[in-house]
Chains A and B, each alone.
Chain A
Amino acid sequence: MATQTFAKGTHPSADDPHVLLEDDYAFYEPIPPYPPRTEREAEFYTLGDGEMFLNMGPQHPSTHGVLRVVLKLDGERVVDIDPVLGYLHRGVEKLVENADYHQTISQVDPLEYISSLFCEWAPVTAYEKLLDVEVPRRAEYIRVLSGELNRIASHALFMGWFALDLGGLTPILWSFIERDEIVEMLAALTGQRMLFNYFRIGGVNGDLNHEFLSRLGDWMSRAVGQVDANTKLLNENEIFVRRASGLGVVDQETAIRYCMTGANLRATGIPFDLRRTHPYSIYPELEFDIPTRSEGDSLARYLLRMEEVKQSLRIIDQCLDKMPDGPIIAKLPRLLRPRPGRAWAAVEGPRGVYGAYAISDGTDQPFRLKIHDPSFIHLQAVGALLPGNLLADTMAIMASLDPVMGGVDK
């Protein structure tokens, strides 16, 4: 693991004239050990007394997706970490530049595979700004309704994962009841279980149907009770609370410095939620609270997300109540050629702010689409949070920030 370092030109083979004289047409030269590119890398890959490297991932059973973390350990204590990204890189932002505006929606869909609707929502809103179209009100209501359902599904999965990384076996299967129910009803609405490809520029793809509404009504009648039962499994568990509290504490200054958003920021006490601070869609018409907590540790982040689930249930209730009639998609031509210009749109997803920055040059393909993904932003904080903790807590801290590697690597 440890890389032997050589300054430029000091590798044993560099000055050896025989290396190239052996054979002119076919020769062998060993690749020298990779020289450290930065001072930081050189410092990290130098072992101190009693330290060792541990390569966690990309095939470790509990990294969320394919993340590789090189840990520098002193016994069980983490001294330093070096996260290695890129195992899931698919070049989505480049692919998008070669697709027309409608096709890009299915390209950005698998970025954040846990809550796909929000990855669609941000670029779609940016395109709407470029095209200057008005989204029908019914479409906005359906977007909010399906989006909040997706938020609950994502938070349910978070709860299971977090418990699993702390060694709890059962909660993930309990939380999958909720997620599966929601995923099934979204499949009835959108036709897909995971990568929905549902939002369209100027509206949504299909209207509410009978199966979706009956499943939703059925689930809403017992949702609150089930969410309570699931959270009771962990909230009153002494071992869980002892392990999660005081773990990976982020204070307000650090959170702002690392550009944290979403539940991770609100767990430090800053009530920043795009749905209230920069209202979009129909959120100004709805009643809901922005829960915050002041501790900033893993337990606070977990409890806050569970609180958000209840607020989402409130929003879904109001959406169903106020759902207007009308068209679900604006009238637009098949081939879109937006006016040249730049547009930025952001939505509040379950992990934080999803942003999309789109540049149009007047053709039918976006000139550039930059995705701002909260998972990538939050993963940066891991470097600051991990050192000093025990090996057992590395995955728990990472899980409490709730990153999804699909969004990190794009």
Chain B
Amino acid sequence: MTALARTWDHLTLPGKALFILIPLLALLTTGLIVVIALFGQQILDILIFNLPIVRFVFAATVLLLLAPPIAFVIIYMEMKIIALMNLRIGPDRVGPWGTLLSTIHGLKVLMKEDFTPTRADPVVFTWAPVVVFSTMALSALVIPFAPGLFAQDFNLALLYFFAIGGLTVVGLLMGGWASFNKYSLLGGLRSAAQIVSYEIPLTLSVVGLVILAGTMSLNKIVQQQGVYVDITGSHGSGWFLDWYVFRQPLAFLIFGIAATAEANRTPFDLTEADSEIVAGFATEYSGMRFGFFFFAEYIGVFIISALTTVLFLGGWNAPFPFPRIAWIVDPGSLGIGLLFVVALVPLLGTLLLAAPFYLFRSQTRWWVALIVGFVLFNVLAGAVFFVWMRGTLPRVRIDQLMGFAWKWLLPAALLNLFVTALGVLVADALRGGPA
């Protein structure tokens, strides 16, 4: 007992924490194994009986857990690419080729002082980042990442996405109002005006696509862009020409521009224009509350890129006919797949991003490096495009922003809708009656 006490005195603080945690974890694991061994069949039965609920809860948890690594990867990418455009080196100290820098930033944010201004409204002030972050994460629930790899698929998925995504503005407005700072207030009001204006062309631009697809289920929209089988037979060639970007090019353009504005990215980053209103709605935020805003922005970039891919770029379909293994995966295997993703995405993301730099430095044959670089570029092309715009373009003014939304994007979206509807009508008439 005295030996144990002496050991305890010599331990550092993390050592003491581990000293308690390791036996506790061992105990819990043992208990879990025992419970599964005794009641495994009953538990499995309950889970399978409530599969939709289990799936939803599991996927929501996983998405929330996935959010920080995704944000870290995109932030690192942004830092590195903007550094290249600015003729700088960029992060290169923490971890291999600086890949861990954004992770360290995230941890640093956790340790910073969480400061509330004296005359701020503490309740609204605290809840604003939560609202922003959770709406961003919730809108990711309907995005299909792979066959079977989605949280929920229902017939109004696209509408749900826009509805939940539009709620972000409430959080931004809350943050701007509660901060007791005029810069924050201006930022919040700007974000309200901007997001509400761009929501309209954003939604209208995909209506043409919905007319063509005949559904709002994102899963079905992706399937329609590849080879798929339904009652009327087998459809699609499997080539990339089936993607909706070739059937709805104008919609793709409008969607891209409006999505940039929705994600508050340069040149539409008026809500946090640092040369005008310091940091907009985030001016008074510090610590992890600022971290939530920060994560939300990059998760927004990721989700918007993912939605663009799903709607226009064929989702998980390869650009050429590819022998699929089993593209309708058994729901039972979903858990394992998601676990795999959670465990490996941060690691893989870090490694993947570092790979091209490593290959170029290690004097591998140049075409190997080029192919790897090309594949990665394709994977994160949407996000890279956002970063590219940020690196190149100045910011537009608020009146130019509004004028652009109402005078150009909205009529263009309406035109696109009109032409699509007319085309569908004509095609149906030629085919002889609605299909």
Min CB distance A68 to B, Å, is 14
Judge whether B393 is part of the interface by a CB distance below 8 angstroms. yes
A59 to B, closest residue via Cβ: B278
Per the bound structure, the CA–CA distance linking A394 and B269 in Å amounts to: 17
Per the bound structure, the CA–CA distance linking A61 and B392 in Å amounts to: 20
Judge whether B182 is part of the interface by a CB distance below 8 angstroms. yes
Per the bound structure, the CA–CA distance linking A168 and B183 in Å amounts to: 20
Q: Mark A75-95, 1 if CB is under 8 A from B, else 0.
A: 010000000000000000000
A243 and B397 contacting across the interface, CB-CB below 8 Å: yes
Interface band, chain A? 20 to 34
Min CB distance A369 to B, Å, is 36
B401 to A, closest residue via Cβ: A392
Q: Which of A159-167, A201-209, A273-281 participates in binding chain B?
A: A159-167
Judge whether B209 is part of the interface by a CB distance below 8 angstroms. no
Interface band, chain B? 20 to 34
B277 and A167 contacting across the interface, CB-CB below 8 Å: no
B86's partner among A165, A166, A170 (CB-CB below 8 A) is A170
A161 to B, closest residue via Cβ: B275
Per the bound structure, the CA–CA distance linking A168 and B269 in Å amounts to: 11
Min CB distance A164 to B, Å, is 6
Min CB distance A269 to B, Å, is 26
A392 and B87 contacting across the interface, CB-CB below 8 Å: no
Q: Which of A223-261 contact B (CB under 8 A)?
A: 237, 239-240, 242-243
B398's partner among A166, A168, A169, A390 (CB-CB below 8 A) is A390
Min CB distance B260 to A, Å, is 12
Min CB distance A233 to B, Å, is 8
B396 and A243 contacting across the interface, CB-CB below 8 Å: yes
B391 to A, closest residue via Cβ: A170
Q: Which of B186-218 contact A (CB under 8 A)?
A: 186, 190
Per the bound structure, the CA–CA distance linking A394 and B391 in Å amounts to: 23
B274 and A392 contacting across the interface, CB-CB below 8 Å: no
A52 and B182 contacting across the interface, CB-CB below 8 Å: yes
Judge whether B63 is part of the interface by a CB distance below 8 angstroms. no
Q: Which residues of B contact A167 (CB under 8 A)?
A: 266-267, 269, 273, 275, 393-395
Judge whether B88 is part of the interface by a CB distance below 8 angstroms. yes
B390's partner among A169, A240, A394 (CB-CB below 8 A) is A169
Per the bound structure, the CA–CA distance linking A240 and B182 in Å amounts to: 27
Judge whether B32 is part of the interface by a CB distance below 8 angstroms. no
Min CB distance A299 to B, Å, is 12
A395 to B, closest residue via Cβ: B275
Per the bound structure, the CA–CA distance linking A242 and B273 in Å amounts to: 18
Min CB distance B213 to A, Å, is 34
Judge whether B44 is part of the interface by a CB distance below 8 angstroms. no
Judge whether A60 is part of the interface by a CB distance below 8 angstroms. yes
B182 and A239 contacting across the interface, CB-CB below 8 Å: no
Judge whether B400 is part of the interface by a CB distance below 8 angstroms. yes
Q: Which residues of A contact B266 (CB under 8 A)?
A: 167, 169
A171 to B, closest residue via Cβ: B394
A60 and B397 contacting across the interface, CB-CB below 8 Å: no
A243's partner among B86, B269, B392, B400 (CB-CB below 8 A) is B400
Task: Check A62/B275 contact, CB under 8 A, given A76-B186, A239-B394, A390-B399.
Answer: yes
A169 and B278 contacting across the interface, CB-CB below 8 Å: no
Judge whether A173 is part of the interface by a CB distance below 8 angstroms. yes
Q: Which residues of B contact A164 (CB under 8 A)?
A: 275
A392 and B186 contacting across the interface, CB-CB below 8 Å: no
A391's partner among B85, B186, B393 (CB-CB below 8 A) is B186
Q: Mark A362-403, 1 if CB is under 8 A from B, else 0.
A: 000000000000000000000000000011111100000000
B87's partner among A62, A166, A173, A393 (CB-CB below 8 A) is A173
Q: Which residues of A contact B86 (CB under 8 A)?
A: 169-170, 173-174
A61 and B275 contacting across the interface, CB-CB below 8 Å: yes
Judge whether A330 is part of the interface by a CB distance below 8 angstroms. no
Judge whether A177 is part of the interface by a CB distance below 8 angstroms. yes
A165 and B392 contacting across the interface, CB-CB below 8 Å: no
Q: Which residues of A contact B391 (CB under 8 A)?
A: 169-170
Judge whether A42 is part of the interface by a CB distance below 8 angstroms. no
B269 to A, closest residue via Cβ: A167
Task: Check A61/B397 contact, CB under 8 A, given A173-B88, A391-B186.
Answer: no
Per the bound structure, the CA–CA distance linking A164 and B87 in Å amounts to: 16
Q: Which residues of A contact B394 (CB under 8 A)?
A: 163, 166-168, 237, 239-240, 243
Q: Mark B84-100, 1 if CB is under 8 A from A, else 0.
A: 01111000000000000
Task: Check A61/B395 contact, CB under 8 A, given A173-B88, A243-B400.
Answer: no
Judge whether A54 is part of the interface by a CB distance below 8 angstroms. yes
Q: Which residues of A contact B399 (CB under 8 A)?
A: 390
Q: Which residues of A contact B87 (CB under 8 A)?
A: 173-174, 177
Per the bound structure, the CA–CA distance linking A243 and B275 in Å amounts to: 14
What would be 28 A-B contacts, judged by CB atoms less than 8 Å apart? A54-B182, A54-B186, A61-B278, A62-B275, A62-B276, A165-B275, A167-B267, A167-B273, A167-B393, A167-B394, A168-B392, A170-B86, A170-B392, A173-B87, A173-B88, A174-B86, A237-B392, A237-B393, A239-B395, A239-B396, A240-B394, A242-B400, A243-B394, A390-B399, A391-B276, A391-B277, A392-B398, A394-B276
Q: Top 5 closest A-B pairs, CB basis?
A: A167-B395, A168-B394, A62-B275, A173-B86, A166-B394
Q: Which B residues form the contact surface with A (CB < 8 A)?
A: 82, 85-88, 182-183, 186, 190, 266-267, 269-270, 273-278, 390-400
User: Given A54-B183, A239-B395, A392-B395, 4 other A-B contacts at CB below 8 A?
Assistant: A54-B186, A169-B82, A170-B85, A393-B397
